[in-house]
Each structure stands twice: as structure tokens, then as C-alpha cells.
Amino acid sequence: MATFFQSVRQGFGRGGNNKNNPPKSPAQAPQDPRTGAMSNSPSLSNSLTIDNLAANDPDAPKYFFQEKYAPLNVRGNFLTLCACPKNVEIGEWLAHQIVEQYRLLHGMLQVIQEVNGVTGVQICNESTCPTMSAGRLTYTWLVDGRAAKISAPKFINRVEKWIVSKIHDPVMFPTENVNGIPETAALRDAAAAASGAPVPEGANPGANGTGADEWIGKSSGFPQTFYKDCQGIMKQMFRCYAHLYHAHWLNPFWHINKHDILNMCFVHFVTVAKYYQLVSDKEMEPMQPLIDLFIKQQRVPPEALNGGHWAQQAST
């Protein structure tokens, strides 16, 4: 296999945390959309438990769906970051995109995994987030072959471990030259399901010209299930973003003035997901109002909609 993906994966940690480097509070905390100005007190997070409880109320206002609360901290077209260069094989490029999207998501998850110095618990904890919810929707996890509701911190922890294990799986994400056709990841997925890990869903896109004997990434040594696995990983990452917004947009992202960075990461994620058809429209429903807003603003570029990459391939 070519060395592109191997080069971009260098330095990617195996789920290592940098919790010793929490995001710094801005010099001036933003105005709370509900209660007015907030002081920039170092003990602010100690008094914000109620914000988590309110955020987990499905009837609570969703400020992040409003345009005035949806800025980005960067300008530019995210298509330049997600479109596959002509000299890079698509399988390698998708592998790179998965690693990059997880890197960005992991940075956002670290924000809610910050431990309160007084209570000794994370911002996202068993009490404030007893389920992995996104508004009225609750995500479940396979436990002993059955769908079970588990707390958000447990769900997120398992998702992160699962994604990292996939990225460092030499079968799914090979970095060495492969002779012949590699074994598929079907047996590994079956074992993951038995252990409670999420099983990827989705099929290869019909517009990309692949068939039973051809698949995305074949020429670079990726297994036949590679694209399907990428869909599964992106789906679980989307669920983490949905929880970040619905349960934690106010506390902590708004209070520490990092909501614009969260928006930037999410727009990048949605652009990649739509451009390569990695997350279904139905799966995206919990965040659809914000996605529609970003589409209207062309933050998510028109070229990314309706599987822009596969449409482009079909027309050439």
C-alpha cells in the first residue's frame, strides 16, 4: 500500500488523553442566552450542574439551532479539506479523513471529560447524563446481544476505544504493503458485537461503480468491508456530536466561549459525511436544524450535498 495514510497517521495516539491541558477560559465569558452576563469565576463550573439538567430536558430551548448562536471561528470552504486529491487513492484518503475527524471529535470530548476539582466528577457524568441522549432521542449500546441504555460517559468511552481499535487494526487500516486480497473484517465485527461494541451499518454507495469484485480501497490493501466500517465509525462520531450539542452546548461550551470551535468541528464533520455519503440523513435528524442552517449559509458547501464525491466520479 502507498505511504499516504501511514504518513498522516503518524503521531496519532492510541486514545491517549490530554486532560492535563484543559481549554483555557476566555478573558470575558460570553453572555448566557438565558440569564445575562456570567462572571468569569474559576469556580463557575461548580455551579453549573443545573445547566446540564436543563440541557437534558427535551423541552429546553435549543439555542444552538439559532443563527445568532451558531458562529464559526474560521472562514473558508471546508471542501478544500475533504475533497480527495487526484494523486491519492480514495481508500487512503477516507482512512485519513476518519483519523482526522476522530482527532477533532476527541478534542471536543475532552472538554466534557474535564474533572471538576471540587466534586471530582466529569462535566458529563452518570448523574447529569444517565443516558446517551440527543433531545428526545436516546442511543443504545449492545450488551450481551441486546440493546441497552447506558450512561453518556460510558457510551462515549466505549465509542472512543472502539474507534481507536479500528484505526490501529492492521486489517482494517493497513499501513504495510499487502500481497493479494486481505481478509475482511466480518469476523472482527462479529466479535465486537459479542463484546458490546457497535456494529457498523450501511452499504457501499451505488454511484461509486464498485461491485462484488471491486471495492473502495482494494488497490491499497483495505478489506472489502472498509467503506461500511467507515460508515459505522462516522455514525458513532455523529452520535457523540449530537450529545455534545443537546446536553453540553451551554455547559461547558457556551460558558467557556468554545461553541464556535464546536461548530467548526461539526461543519467539517458534516461536509465529509455528506460528500462521501458516510452518515445517512435519518441518522442526522437530531441535528438537522443546525445542518440546514449551515447549508443555507453555505458553510457546508453545495458540492458536498447528495454525495458530491460519487456524483463527480459518475460524471467523469
The residue whose grid cell reads 466505549 is 158
Q: How far is Cα 263 from Cα 150, in angstroms, rounded to an integer?
A: 26
Determine contact, residues 206/217, Cβ cutoff 8 Å: no
Structure-block grid coordinates of residue 79: 471542501
Q: Is the pLDDT of residue 283 over 70?
A: yes
pLDDT, residue 16, reads: 39
Q: How far is Cα 228 from Cα 234, in angstroms, rounded to an integer?
A: 10
Determine contact, residues 234/279, Cβ cutoff 8 Å: yes
209: left (phi over 0), alpha (psi -120 to 50) or beta: left
- Residue 141 DSSP code: E
Phi, psi of 23 (to 5 degrees): -65, 140
**Topology of domain 73-315, CATH:** Butyryl-CoA Dehydrogenase, subunit A; domain 3 (1.20.140)
Q: Exposure of 80 by Cβ count < 10 A (0-12 exposed, 13-18 middle, 19+ buried)?
A: exposed
Q: Is the pLDDT of residue 203 over 80?
A: no
The residue whose grid cell reads 476539582 is 117
Determine contact, residues 141/80, Cβ cutoff 8 Å: no
pLDDT, residue 158, reads: 96
User: Is 265 marked as binding a ligand?
Assistant: no
User: Is 259 marked as binding a ligand?
Assistant: no
Q: How far is Cα 5 from Cα 178, in angstroms, rounded to an integer?
A: 14
Compute the residue count for the chain.
316
pLDDT above 70: percentage of residues in the chain? 67
Structure-block grid coordinates of residue 151: 450512561
pLDDT, residue 154, reads: 97
User: Is 124 marked as binding a ligand?
Assistant: yes
Q: pTM of the prediction?
A: 0.75
**What are the percentages of helix, strand and coil residues in the chain, rounded to 5?**
45, 5, 45
Domain borders along the chain are 73-315
Q: Is the pLDDT of residue 31 over 60?
A: no
User: Is 248 marked as binding a ligand?
Assistant: yes
Q: Is the pLDDT of residue 280 over 70?
A: yes
Q: How far is Cα 232 from Cα 186, in angstroms, rounded to an integer?
A: 13
Q: What are the start-end ranges of the H helices in 113-168?
A: 152-167
